Each structure stands twice: as structure tokens, then as C-alpha cells.
Chain A
Amino acid sequence: MTKEECKQLVLEIIADIAPDEDISDVKSDVALREQLELDSMDFLDIVMEIRKKYGIEVPEDDYPQLESLDSSAEYLTPKFNSVKA
């Protein structure tokens, strides 16, 4: 999986959790919270959906890694690739 594909998966999850948000114009390098109305409940759901859909665990200490799409891809892509392998 490439980092671009990983970003796409994260965006799909956000669209699922917050269908009332417009995600067509999300900038990769800017914090998600600054662009979208996401609260701590929504962030918990992003983590939970990643776990549910892809079996990837994100420990609580690592939540800050999901701050932006770029940082999420940086953090999650190796995890996706090691699950696949």
C-alpha cells in the first residue's frame, strides 16, 4: 500500500463517521481538526474503525500520530503493509 492509498482509506473512514462533513478539499499537511469539525468521540471512532476494518491497533499514546492525513499515512502505511504481508 502506498501512502496515498492509505490517506484515501482514512478519508473513507472519516466520510463514514461524519457524513455531514465535506471532505473533498482536505489538505494533507494540515491538522484534520482544523479543517473538519471532529471531536474526541470522532477520533476514537477513527481508531476503532481502523481496528474493526483492518485489524490495526492504534494505542492511545499514538493518537497524536493521526493529527493530519500526512502524519496518519506516515504512521499507518507500514502497519497496513505488515498486516498484508
Chain B
Amino acid sequence: MSGLAAGIRLAHFNRNVLILERHNVPGGLNSFYSFDGRKFDVGLHAVTNYVRPGVKGTPLGKLFRQLRIDRDEFDLSEQAGSKVAFPGVELRFTNDFEVFESEVARAFPQQIDNFQSFLKMIREYNELDLNQPAQSARKITAQYISDPVLEEMIYCPVMYYGSARENDMDFSQFVIMFKSLFFEGFARPYDGVRKIIRVLIKKYRTLGGLRKMKCGVKQIICRESRVKELILDNGVNITADHVLSSIGLVETLRLCDDKEKDTEETNVGRLSFVETINILNKQPRELGWEDTIIFFNDWDRFDYSEPDALVDPRSGVICMPNNYLYANEKELEEGVLRVTSLANFKRWTTLPEEEYQEQKKLWHNVLADKAMSFLSPLKGQSLEDLTVYVDMFTPRTIEKYTGHLGGAVYGAPNKSRNGLTHLDNLYLCGTDQGFLGIIGAMLSGISMANLHILKKEARR
């Protein structure tokens, strides 16, 4: 997605652009697939950063301007409402920030003044400044919020929707996520992520941009601190003035013929996930399940780290894409219940095939039960009775389709904020540049195309 956004910018300003995609479906980490006639989104629970028409100066507005796309084209509908659920305490939030604020005041009356000062500091922080020093978000947060439960309830959604680091984040990444989830909000196109990808591709094609699908880059040939040429999967060599890579930081460096194959071993992300999907014969609302997204944790502490077991079901995210306020009260055709939890990449990828399939079934049931403990009880029927179809992805699936090492959805823990690499004409965009979420991904492509290609050439 970051690559498509960068491509649109460059093609708009008359550059010859070629996008190379190894997969047969566009979108990268935010993609989609069909199975048995059903359409599924891979990454998208929510388009974060949602603001209503007329709200200016936020990432969403910048994105539409930069891509010359009309906001109606994305067909975004707002969430009904979401919550963070911890043992004995819940915080609801919607796209109106006051709701979250009043929830904090209700559940943590002693913390509300601290919380207000925390908000003030976040509002004033310029998280998009590429030169912000790296700082521990936890340390800064602890200077304001003294109740660890409130702190963890804030971190649970923020980390689940974007942290590549275990139990802490870089502060500017935290601010990007906090603003995009709480100050701004959640929305979704009725048709899911494919709607957005379709708009981007149409725009890119109209501008004369070229795409080559099922054709990845096999090797980057480097000479004199520059990319000399790219060798593609099909054996063809191509050259370019500039190369923008969205495949990840470590993944990109490992393609370079002047780097070792195990380069940056410690910067391979350790956080991967499983996600279970139950397709239901009822709308969740008919079952009394009205939340759009529930970020849950039922342990004493919130632990966002690579689990020792295949899955860590103590915390996770429940998403019901039916619970967006679609135009004309349109409903999705079927009910959808998705549950995501942290998973161990190595353990999933070393299972023999038969056991892999068994473990998938087993953990699907564990996560379904877990989700049920956060949803209103069903009357006289079980989730199984309502389920017409199931699917599940694991870290193995993620690596297979996205190429992200370790199945690390949010990429490397240490980002390259300015997108620079050891080569003069090779830059990074996407997850490992460090703007997060779908809107962040697109803004990353835009910013890097602007900074390293358009601006540089304008200067000449």
C-alpha cells in the first residue's frame, strides 16, 4: 500500500514508475483474499486516523490531498463503538474523544488530572518530525499516569495496532498510534480493504504507472554506494534512478549483494499473530454484540511480547466488521467474528504439517472461547451453531504471503524514520519507515517519495 501511494505521487509528477509485487494480489500487509466465494480482508480491522469531513490538518486529509483522491472514494463508514476490556474494568471509546475521556474519569477518577496533562503533552508533540530522538514511550507515560492498570489499558490497543517492539514503543510511534486510535478514530469501507486498494490502483494506472505482479526482486546489485540494478524473480535485470522498497528494512538489506544473508539478525521483528475468523449466520448485533472492536486482556498484567507457547490467549483483539455504521443502514451479508492474539513464529513454522493443522483447530477453539468470555452470552445456542465457515491465519501464513521475516506484521523493532539506507538511491517506505496503520502506510510512501525523489529533483 505504501508502494502504491509512492507510485501515485511519482507518476502524478510524470516520473516513469514501475511497481514490482511478488504476490498475485496487491496491498502487501493490508491485502485481501477470496475463499469458497467469500471475501476476506487480511489486515484490516479498521482504518484508523478517521476524521469527519471538514476536519483539517490530520493524516487522513493530508493523504487525500497528496494523492488527489476525493475522500468519498474510500467510502468510509464510522465505527459503532469499541472498548478496552480488562479484569473488572472497561473503557469504551468512539470517534468522539470525549467519550474516552469521560470513561477514564469514571473508571479512574484519581487519574483524570494526570490523564489530562498526558493528553496535553501528546497534542503538542510533533510525531511526524523525522528527526525526533528515540525515547521509551513507557518511561514518558509513567511520568504522567501513575496507575499501571490505566497505563496498560492505553497501551493494549496502541500496541496491538502497531507496535513492533515488545512491551514498549518508541515515543513518536506511540503518539502516532494514540492520535490515530483515540483523537481520530475507526472507519471501514463497506467492501473492506479491497475498496481502498482498488481506488489506489485505478489512480496509479490512470497516471500511467506500471505494475508487474507475481514478480519480486531477487537481488539488489550494489556498486559504489548505489543500486546498480535489480535482478527480478524471472531473471530479468532492470535499472532505475531511484529504488523505493516497501518489503521491510532487514528484508531489503538482505537482498543487497554487499550485505551478509544474516544481516541485522537482531532487528527481525519478534511479534507475530494468529487470527481466527468465524463467519456467522446472524449479524453480531442480533446476538447483542454491538462493539466494533474489543481490545481484551484477562491477566493481572498486560504482556505484549512473543509468547513461549504457540499462542498467548491472555490478551487480544476481537473485531466485528459488521458493527460499522454503513450508509443507508446496509448490513454486511454475513456476520463476522475475528479474534487476534500474539503467537510464536518459530513454533508455528516448525510444526509438521499434520500437527500444524491440528494446532490450528485447537487454538481456533481456544480463541473462540476466549472471545465468548468478553461477549454477551448466547441464549440456548453455541458459537458453533451460528458458525457457517471458519478460517485462520498463523505466523506461517503471514510470512508466506507478505514476505515479512518472522511473520512480523509490524516489522522491525528499530525503524528507519528517514527511510535512508547504506545506498544513495535506495530508500525504505512502509512499516519499517515507521508510520503505522493503513493511512500511515500510505503517508509513508508519500513522504518518502516526496523527500527522497521529488524534493531532491526540485532542488536541482
Contact = CB atoms under 8 A, between A and B. Distances in A.
Interface of A: 16-20, 37, 39, 41-42, 44-45, 47-48, 51-52, 57-60
Interface string B219-239: 000000000000000000000
Given A18-B65, A52-B13, A52-B14, A37 B458 contact: no
Contact of A37 (B53, B57, B454, B455): B57
A48 B458 contact: yes
11 contacts: A17-B68, A20-B53, A39-B57, A41-B446, A41-B450, A44-B454, A45-B65, A45-B66, A48-B458, A58-B458, A60-B459
Given A41-B66, A41-B450, A42-B65, A51 B458 contact: yes
A77 to B, nearest CB: 21
A18 B64 CA distance: 9
Given A39-B62, A48-B454, 19 more contacts: A16-B68, A18-B65, A19-B65, A19-B70, A20-B54, A20-B56, A20-B64, A37-B57, A41-B65, A42-B65, A44-B450, A44-B458, A45-B65, A45-B66, A47-B458, A48-B458, A52-B14, A57-B458, A59-B459
A8 to B, nearest CB: 20
B61 interface: yes
Contacts of B458: 44, 47-48, 51, 57-58, 60
A17 B13 contact: no
Contacts of B454: 44, 48
A32 B54 CA distance: 19
Nearest to A40: B450
B442 to A, nearest CB: 13
Contacts of B446: 41
B319 to A, nearest CB: 30
A17 B57 CA distance: 14
Contacts of B455: 44
A44 B65 CA distance: 12
B6 to A, nearest CB: 14
Interface of B: 13-14, 53-54, 56-57, 61-62, 64-66, 68, 70, 446, 450, 454-455, 458-459
A45 B9 CA distance: 10
Contacts of B65: 17-20, 41-42, 45
B363 to A, nearest CB: 44
Nearest to A37: B56
A40 to B, nearest CB: 9
A75 to B, nearest CB: 16
A10 to B, nearest CB: 16
A78 to B, nearest CB: 20
Contacts of A41: 62, 65-66, 446, 450
A44 B450 CA distance: 9
B66 to A, nearest CB: 6
A60 B451 CA distance: 13
Nearest to B446: A41
Contacts of A47: 458
A48 B13 contact: yes
Interface centre among B53, B455, B458 (most CB of A within 10 A): B458
Contacts of A37: 56-57
Contacts of A45: 65-66
A51 B15 CA distance: 13
The 9 tightest CB contacts between A and B, nearest first, are: A37-B56, A60-B459, A18-B65, A48-B13, A37-B57, A52-B13, A17-B65, A41-B66, A41-B62
Contacts of B53: 20
Contacts of A19: 65, 70
A1 B65 CA distance: 28
Contacts of B450: 41, 44
A19 B458 CA distance: 24
Interface centre among B56, B70, B459 (most CB of A within 10 A): B56
A37 B55 CA distance: 10
Contacts of A52: 13-14
Contacts of A17: 65, 68
A52 B62 CA distance: 20
A20 B61 contact: yes
A12 to B, nearest CB: 14
Contacts of B14: 52
A42 B67 CA distance: 11
